[in-house]
Amino acid sequence: MTHPAQPKASHFINGQYVEDTGGAEIPVIYAATGERIATVHAATPAIVEQALASAKAAQKEWAKMTGTERGRILRRAADIIRDRNHELSVLETYDTGKPLQETLVADATSGADALEYFGGLAASLTGEHIPMGEDWVYTVREPLGVCVGIGAWNYPTQIACWKGAPALACGNAMVFKPSETTPLCALKVAEILVEAGLPAGLYNVIQGMGEVGGALVSDPRVDKVSLTGSVPTGKKVYAAAAADMKHVTMELGGKSPMIVFEDADIDNAVGGAINGNFYSSGQVCSNGTRVFVHKDIKEKFLTRLAERTANAKLGDPMDENVNFGPMVTENQMNIVLGYIEKGKAEGARLVCGGQRADMDGYFIEPTIFADVKDEMVIAREEIFGPVMAVLDFEDEDEVIARANDTEFGLSAGVFTKDLSRAHRVIGALEAGSCFINSYNDAPVEAPFGGVKASGVGRENSKEAIQHYSQVKSVYVRMGDVEAAF
């Protein structure tokens, strides 16, 4: 019998599901059991062509609609997503292995927030009037044209919506390529957008590995590329986009610092460290994986952290009491286990976890290392799994310098009761998305994105509008034109 997660076809183009079995088979494996639950095919050149041609053909008419009309469709899609939250959350769990307890509140709901927010903003996207004496300049906020979205595997519904919603609100068309690891959820987003009234061709989903992404990025019909992925992929995609001067948004990896000062509320700081390392089993780009704890409270912090981490409940992700799921793939599990072995070999103190869980699926126990030193591999490289590195510090200037000593700059957090110190330290940290006495909140109203190697551009908030539109300025002369000859 066909598994309920099996989509009707691999791709969604021009308002309908499309299949081309000529493309390489991509198995979809449920991470909690290792079982194959669905199969899709990578896009062939003919599929890539169909997707881009339909996006190009549909975009101009979409841009001519009023913002109110465009916004209404996006908001209707948000409502449909909320109505079907349970069904979509189950699919997200099949796609990623993340526990239903999480997906019910963090994935389809976050996608719906983006559609609602940008749907609401669509009608307010206007230009300016700039008086120049009796002349004037007016500006027009125009769409970019055809946008390509390329997703990572950790938040397949959210990423599909975070890119699609602002692109469509601004009058663009989108071709979205999900990660080959999690190809299912974006198809549902496309289907729901069409059900909400989106004209055909404006939001197409095609499957494939990096090659398909590469074919999209280098196509001359594409005006903008938004990637969520790793830094090495980001560098390749950015370079390919630069060849034609395409716009880019790059949401890449991180190794973010979370700093806990001696006056912090210990339980809140522990909660922040748990959210910033173990949510989605640590597969979150903005995670605060270098937890700098002031030496005076280090042992107290570690004791409380270990006590609370013992409450992680691993198991069937569809059981809503389970709060900790598997790694997305066997390969990712092995990468993370490799880092854990490096941590042990480099002499970090294992506080808890440190191995594969004794159960089916790709589960790793939530792992905490203490006495981690800045130069250790587990303190320098993005692990993308449930591995927390706790480092000691003594003074503010020292910890700021150490926190900034990384190529990454996605997020940063500070826990302290001292208001001036909180703002001073956050001001000095090189990161795009920061937190004071909290960690990993990502509401659609707030800009999200990194500095340094962690990316360029911002998703969410009004900032995202800048990255999916451009400004035309028009000088209007009322009098005669003066010329030298």
Binding pattern to ligand NAD, positions 111-150, x when CB under 6 A? ---------------------------------------x
Instruction: Based on the shown chain and the rule CB under 6 A, indicate whether residue 24 belongs to the binding site for ligand NAD.
Output: no
Binding pattern to ligand NAD, positions 363-382, x when CB under 6 A? -------------------x
Is 170 an active-site residue? no
Active-site pick, 92, 116, 191, 251: 251
By CB under 6 A, the count of residues binding ligand NAD is 29
Is 329 within 8 Å of 294 (Cβ atoms)?
A: no
Which residue from 15, 99, 156, 229 is in contact with ligand NAD, where contact means CB under 6 A? 229
Is 375 an active-site residue? no
The H or E element spanning position 114 is helix 108-121
Give the DSSP per-residue string, 288-314.
--EEEEEGGGHHHHHHHHHHHHTT--B
Which residue from 120, 127, 199, 210 is in contact with ligand NAD, where contact means CB under 6 A? 210
Q: Determine the Cα–Cα distance for residues 336 and 155; give it in Å rounded to an integer.
A: 19
Instruction: Based on the shown chain and the rule CB under 6 A, indicate whether residue 180 belongs to the binding site for ligand NAD.
Output: yes
Active-site pick, 163, 188, 224, 298: 163
Q: Determine the Cα–Cα distance for residues 315 and 261; give it in Å rounded to an integer.
A: 35
CA angle centred on 52, ends 47 and 54, rounded to 5°: 95
Which residue from 48, 205, 237, 302 is in contact with ligand NAD, where contact means CB under 6 A? 237
Is 407 an active-site residue? no
Instruction: Based on the shown chain and the rule CB under 6 A, indicate whether residue 154 belongs to the binding site for ligand NAD.
Output: yes
CA distances from 53 to 48, 356, 415, 454 (A): 8, 46, 50, 32
Q: Determine the Cα–Cα distance for residues 434 and 427; give it in Å rounded to an integer.
A: 10
List the one residue out of 15, 21, 25 whose CA is nearest residue 51: 15
The SS3 assignment for 322 reads: coil
List the one residue out of 48, 333, 326, 91 whose CA is nearest residue 209: 48
Q: Which of residues 266-295 bind ligand NAD (CB under 6 A)?
A: 285
Q: Which two tokens stand for residue 368?
A: 């905490």
Instruction: Based on the shown chain and the rule CB under 6 A, indicate whether residue 362 belongs to the binding site for ligand NAD.
Output: no
**178 labeled binding residue:** yes
Is 353 within 8 Å of 386 (Cβ atoms)?
A: yes
Q: Determine the Cα–Cα distance for residues 163 and 468; give it in Å rounded to an integer.
A: 9
Q: Which residues contact 42 (CB under 8 A, 6 or more apart)?
A: 10, 23, 24, 25, 26, 180, 207, 208, 209, 211, 212
Is 344 an active-site residue? no
Interaxial angle between packed helices 210-217 and 231-242, expressed in degrees from 0 to 180 and rounded to the nearest 10: 30
Binding pattern to ligand NAD, positions 417-456, x when CB under 6 A? ---------------------------------x----x-
**214 labeled binding residue:** no
Binding pattern to ligand NAD, positions 157-176, x when CB under 6 A? --------------------
Instruction: Based on the shown chain and the rule CB under 6 A, indicate whether residue 179 belongs to the binding site for ligand NAD.
Output: yes
**382 labeled binding residue:** yes
Binding pattern to ligand NAD, positions 395-414, x when CB under 6 A? ---------------x----
Sort strands 135-143 and 146-150 into parallel, antiparallel or unpaired. Answer: unpaired
Specify the residue, 214 or 271, whose C-beta has the smaller distance to ligand NAD: 214
Instruction: Based on the shown chain and the rule CB under 6 A, indicate whether residue 102 belongs to the binding site for ligand NAD.
Output: no
Binding-site positions for NAD(+) read 151-153, 177-180, 253, 285, 382
Instruction: Give the active site residues.
Output: 163, 251, 285, 459
* Residue ranges that bind ligand NAD, judged by CB under 6 A: 150-154, 177, 179-180, 209-210, 213-214, 217, 228-230, 233, 236-237, 251-254, 285, 382, 384, 410, 450, 455
